[in-house]
Amino acid sequence: MKKTLFLKTESGTIVVPRLENSNWLGRWAFDSWLKRYFKKDIQKSSERAWNVLAEMYEVKTLIEEDKNYRVENSETNNKE
């Protein structure tokens, strides 16, 4: 199972928290996974900026299980 928090700004930009402690291959795989669902480039946010954005916009969780995607409302505004 894969999952990440994300939010959508008023301009339609999708923002996710930046991966911490990951090598380039892990970041590339994460970017590819996000593009498969959202079908566009995604903005990555630092922890500080994410906390500000999470106060302004609704945070959701993207989950993939067995190649099936679903979006759930997030109960937390903190990075997972």
CA 5 to chain centre: 4
Give the integer Cα–Cα distance in Å for 23 and 21.
7
**In-domain check, residue 79:** no
First to last CA, the chain: 14
Domain residues for the domain of 61 are 2-73
Task: Give the pLDDT of residue 21.
Answer: 87
**In-domain check, residue 61:** yes
Run of H or E residues at 34? helix 24-38
Task: Give the pLDDT of residue 76.
Answer: 58
Task: Give the pLDDT of residue 61.
Answer: 97
Task: Give the pLDDT of residue 78.
Answer: 45
pTM of the model: 0.86
pLDDT digits (tens, 9 = 90+) for 22-54: 899 999 999 999 999 999 989 999 999 999 999
- Cβ contact 53:45 at 8 Å: yes
The count of domains in the chain is: 1
Tell me the average pLDDT across 57-80. Answer: 84
